[in-house]
């Protein structure tokens, strides 16, 4: 009898399965556990996470480290997609042209144009001159409103106001007339004085219509057709906002220039081919498929594509202590997305959505690197450690412990960094594929499109459903259902989009509506998981025909997601394929498949 631990090193978690194997080869599962993966998957840094996961599993089984006969680890292929988001174009607005919009509490209503003049200097102007008053933080809201009322009564044409402080509503409530008022202008000191200015405030529940329309701006600033083309980035940046301002000096201009996106060069068993990143994700993926099994992928030097892929190569060279030229990229997933680009000269950190391509790249699995990890682990624990096998092979062995399954069987192993697929036929022969892109790529797309500050925020939006707090005692979930509460909801959450987490409601730090956030989340999951599911199954299915498959079992951490299994099931339904979550060993759900497969490999 021997006790074996199977350990699966993943991109996000390290999972352990411990079992007792009799001399006759019968397996008794004793425990399982998981811990966060330490460091980049497939590197020496993983050892700390292995220790933690293994200790948890031993404690649950009531065992000590010396009780183990052997530890079996997977061949872990590193995946880097989280640093490879590159925009195709960049919008640059020169500092002589400034735009702004801010934020949630403008005052007044309508459109106003005039020269930008400090409130204290308005009496120095010709009374016939149309003016937008600039009110800095030295003005109290009561004094500012009193002064604007006085100047207006003396005949000065004040058509709007821009406030540095958050006083828009307070000033508006004290005026004897209605003008558009912007407040909370972050870079107030940068506003040029004495220049033609246009501001707009829309009614509650609506968005600006004139300054978000290039022809609207052209009308206010008397622009010709060429100038109108150049201000398109300005109008795009203001779409969807309730308030907006555009200021333009006589010398102001706008440029929209392309950063060289460059080409990606695929080297495969069936030949070589290149594709321009500007052609988009679909074209990139078609070219990748056309060269057969990938040997290496390179980017054009001096371009975004080159920097993107060489960054992957450099990172892996430093982590694995291999020579740069010995690092080869075995797979790439490209996804079209939109990336908010900060506009130079903005008054409040404005951005415009630009087309972008997100890329996840996978470095070829290196058994020598895994053997080095195994040796270091063995020396530290004084227990034999072996590299048990490829993840896809181990995952299908683990998946077969799901009640109701039998060969032939296909599985999709959906993790944080990679999407793996394998199929075992009646002769127990296994076909496998290991593809870049999974849960981390989804979070990256969500973070990018929503313009979130941290990756962790995107992770939470990916994992938890949304709701909108509509009163102090009820909220509306993203599916339209309403939930009432006996106790009052935190007032800080009123009218906000929130995440429904096990710990309670958590606000989403995004200006977008619940519908928009939900759409971005589901689109990101579909672009990554559905695309990779079909790509993987086409690779392993007999003759590349997905319809020849009958049953597909979903395993891995991302199979726990509340939407991903349904998205994949729906996409496979048109092929007549039945897909569903696995339940490893009848107890673990879709987790622990690889670790269980590694453990079972100890019977051979």
Cis previous bond, 103, omega within 30: yes
Checking if the pLDDT of 394 tops 50, the result is yes
| Band of residue 420 on the pLDDT scale cut at 50, 70, 90 | confident
Residue-wise DSSP of 150-164: HHHHTT-EEEEEEES
Q: What pLDDT was estimated at residue 388? A: 86
pLDDT tens digits, residue range 198-237? 999 999 878 889 988 989 989 998 888 888 887 777 787 7
Three-class HEC string of 243-276: EEEEEECCCCCEEEEECCCCEEEEEECCEEEEEE
Of the pLDDT bands very low, low, confident and very high (cuts 50, 70, 90), residue 492 is very high
Report the pLDDT value the prediction gives residue 273, as an integer from 0 to 100: 95
The alpha carbon dihedral of 446, 448, 450, 455 has a sign of: positive
| 56 three-class SS | helix
Pairing of strands 157-163, 130-135: parallel
Q: Which CATH superfamily is domain 95-254 in?
A: Swiveling domain of dehydratase reactivase alpha subunit (3.50.30.70)
Say what the pLDDT of residue 343 is.
Answer: 59
Neighbours of 426 (CB within 10 A): 8
Lowest mean pLDDT, pick from 39-43, 47-51, 349-353: 349-353
Over pLDDT 90: what percentage of the chain? 56
Contact assessment for residue 257 and residue 206, using Cβ atoms and an 8 Å cutoff: no
Ordered by start, the domain boundaries in the chain are 1-77+368-401, 95-254, 259-363
Q: Which of 18-22, 81-85, 249-253 has the highest mean pLDDT?
A: 18-22
**pLDDT band at residue 90 using 50, 70 and 90 as cut-offs:** very low
pLDDT band at 599 (very low <50, low <70, confident <90, very high): very high
Closest CA to 7 of 79, 71, 64: 71
- Who has greater pLDDT, 236 or 327? 327
* Tokens standing for residue 11: 């991109």
| pLDDT computed for residue 291 by the predictor | 95
DSSP letters, 271-311, are EEEEEEGGG-HHHHHHHHHHT-SEEEEEE-TTSHHHHHHHH
Quickly tell me which residue has 């030097």 as its tokens. Answer: 301
15 in Cβ contact with 75 (< 8 Å): no
pLDDT of residue 575: 92
More confident residue, 227 or 65: 65
Q: Which residues contact 205 (CB under 8 A, 6 or more apart)?
A: none
pLDDT at residue 94 in the model: 42
Averaged over 237-251, what is the pLDDT?
Answer: 77
* 490 within 8 A of 505, measured Cβ to Cβ: yes
Q: Which of 34-43, 210-219, 312-321, 553-562 has the lowest mean pLDDT?
A: 312-321
Does 147 have pLDDT greater than 80? yes
pLDDT confidence bin for 311, thresholds 50/70/90:
confident
Distance from the first to the final alpha carbon of the chain? 14
CA–CA separation, 492 vs 28, rounded Å? 52
pLDDT at 316: 73
Rg over CA atoms, the chain: 30
Beta bridge partners of 4: 19, 70
Q: By the 8 A CB rule, do 269 and 304 touch?
A: no
Task: Please provide the CATH number assigned to the domain covering 1-77+368-401.
Answer: 3.30.420.40
3-state DSSP percent of the chain in helix, strand and coil, to 5? 35, 30, 35
Determine how β-strand 157-163 pairs with β-strand 181-182: parallel
Nearest to 88 by CA among 351, 336, 454, 289: 336
Rounded CA-CA distance 284/274 in Å is 9
Distance, CA of 456 to chain centre: 10
Contact 21, 27 (CB under 8 A): yes
Task: Identify the pLDDT of residue 325.
Answer: 77
Q: Where are the extended beta strands (E) located within 101-242?
A: 110-118, 130-135, 157-163, 181-182, 196-201
Of the candidates 69, 176, 64, the residue with the CA atom closest to the CA atom of residue 603: 69
Separation between Cα atoms, residue 164 and residue 135, nearest integer Å: 6
Predicted confidence at residue 506, as pLDDT, reads: 96
Where is pLDDT greater, at 68 or 337?
68
Measured from the Cβ of residue 186, the count of other Cβ atoms closer than 10 Å reads 15
Least confident of 365-379, 400-414, 518-532: 365-379
* Of the listed ranges 79-83, 231-235, 247-251, the one predicted with least confidence: 79-83
**What is residue 600's three-state secondary structure?**
helix
DSSP state of 528: I
Could you tell me which residues are beta bridge partners of residue 471?
none
Query: Quick one: average pLDDT of 442-457?
Result: 91
Mean pLDDT of 487-502: 95
pLDDT band at 98 (very low <50, low <70, confident <90, very high): low
Rounded-to-integer distance, Cα 254 and Cα 91, Å: 9
Q: Rounded distance, CA 241 to CA 200, Å?
A: 10
Contact 109, 178 (CB under 8 A): yes
CA separation, residue 81 to residues 303, 361, 363, 404, 418 (Å):
18, 5, 11, 35, 10
Tens-place pLDDT, residues 149-200: 999 999 999 999 999 998 999 999 999 999 999 988 877 887 888 989 999 9
Task: Over range 248-265, report the average pLDDT.
Answer: 63
The confidence band for 529, taking pLDDT boundaries of 50, 70 and 90, is very high
Q: Give the SS3 label for residue 496.
A: coil
Residue 310: pLDDT band with limits 50, 70, 90: confident
318: part of which helix (H) or strand (E)?
A: helix 304-320
Choose which CATH entry (1.10.10.10, 3.30.830.10, 3.30.420.40, 3.90.470.30) describes domain 259-363.
Answer: 3.90.470.30
Name every residue whose Cβ is closer than 8 Å to that of residue 573 and which is 6 or more positions away in sequence.
Answer: none
What pLDDT digit, counting tens, does each position of 454-489 carry?
999 999 999 999 999 999 999 999 999 999 999 999
Token pair belonging to 139: 């003005």
What is the pTM (predicted TM-score) of this model?
A: 0.74
Q: How many residues does the chain have?
A: 604
303-308: long-range contacts, CB 8 A cutoff, minimum separation 24: 303/260, 303/261, 303/262, 303/263, 303/277, 304/86, 304/87, 304/88, 304/259, 304/260, 304/261, 304/262, 304/277, 305/86, 305/261, 305/262, 305/263, 305/264, 305/277, 306/262, 307/86, 308/84, 308/86, 308/359
């Amino acid at each position: 009898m021997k006790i074996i631990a199977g350990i699966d090193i993943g991109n996000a978690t390290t999972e352990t399965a411990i079992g007792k194997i009799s001399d006759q080869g019968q397996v008794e599962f004793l425990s399982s556990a998981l811990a966060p993966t330490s460091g980049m998957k497939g590197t020496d840094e993983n050892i700390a996470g292995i220790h933690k996961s293994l200790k948890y599993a031993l404690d649950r089984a009531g065992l000590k480290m010396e009780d183990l006969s052997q530890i079996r680890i997977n061949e872990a292929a590193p995946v880097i997609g989280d640093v490879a988001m590159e925009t195709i174009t960049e919008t640059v607005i020169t500092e002589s042209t400034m735009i702004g919009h801010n934020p949630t509490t403008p005052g007044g209503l309508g459109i106003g144009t005039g020269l930008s003049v400090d409130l204290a200097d308005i009496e120095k102007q010709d009374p016939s001159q149309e003016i937008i008053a600039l009110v800095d933080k030295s003005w109290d809201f009561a004094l500012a409103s009193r002064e604007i009322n006085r100047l207006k009564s003396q005949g000065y044409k004040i058509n709007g106001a821009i406030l540095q402080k958050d006083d828009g509503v307070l000033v508006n409530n004290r005026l004897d007339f209605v003008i558009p008022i912007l407040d909370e202008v972050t870079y107030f000191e940068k506003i040029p004085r004495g220049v033609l200015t246009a501001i707009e405030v829309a009614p509650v529940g609506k968005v600006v219509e004139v300054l978000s329309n290039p022809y609207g701006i052209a009308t206010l600033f008397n622009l010709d057709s060429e100038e109108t083309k150049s201000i398109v980035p300005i109008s795009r940046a203001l779409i969807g906002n309730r308030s907006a301002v555009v200021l333009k000096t006589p010398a102001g201009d706008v440029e929209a220039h392309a950063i060289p996106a460059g080409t990606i060069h695929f080297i495969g068993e069936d030949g070589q081919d290149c594709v321009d990143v500007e052609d988009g994700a679909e074209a990139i993926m078609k070219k990748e498929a056309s060269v057969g099994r990938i040997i290496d992928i390179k980017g054009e030097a001096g371009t975004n594509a080159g920097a993107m892929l060489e960054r992957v190569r450099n990172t892996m060279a430093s982590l694995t202590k291999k020579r740069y030229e010995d690092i080869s990229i075995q797979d790439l997933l490209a996804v079209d997305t939109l990336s908010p680009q900060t506009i130079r000269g903005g008054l409040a950190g404005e951005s415009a959505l630009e087309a972008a391509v997100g890329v996840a790249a996978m470095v070829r699995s290196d058994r020598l690197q895994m053997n080095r990890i195994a040796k270091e682990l063995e020396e530290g624990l004084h227990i034999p450690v072996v590299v048990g096998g490829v993840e896809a092979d181990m995952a299908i062995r683990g998946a077969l412990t799901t009640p109701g399954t039998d060969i032939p069987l296909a599985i999709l192993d959906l993790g944080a960094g990679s999407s793996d697929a394998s199929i075992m036929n009646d002769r127990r022969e296994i076909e496998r594929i290991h593809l870049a892109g999974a849960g981390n790529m989804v979070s990256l797309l969500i973070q990018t499109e929503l313009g979130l500050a941290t990756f962790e925020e995107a992770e939470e939006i990916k994992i938890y459903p949304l709701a909108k707090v509509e009163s102090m005692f009820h909220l509306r979930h993203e599916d339209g259902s309403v939930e009432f509460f006996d106790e009052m909801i935190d007032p800080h959450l009123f009218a906000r989009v929130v995440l429904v987490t096990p710990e309670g409601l958590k606000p989403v730090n995004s200006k977008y509506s619940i519908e928009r956030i939900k759409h971005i989340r589901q689109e990101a999951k579909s672009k990554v998981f559905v695309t990779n599911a079909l790509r993987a199954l086409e690779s392993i299915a007999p003759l590349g025909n997905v319809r020849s498959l009958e049953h597909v079992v979903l395993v891995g951490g991302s199979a726990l997601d509340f939407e991903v299994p349904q998205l994949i099931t729906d996409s496979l339904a048109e092929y007549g394929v039945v897909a569903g979550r696995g339940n490893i060993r009848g107890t673990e759900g879709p987790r622990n498949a690889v670790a269980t497969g590694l453990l079972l490999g100890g019977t051979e």
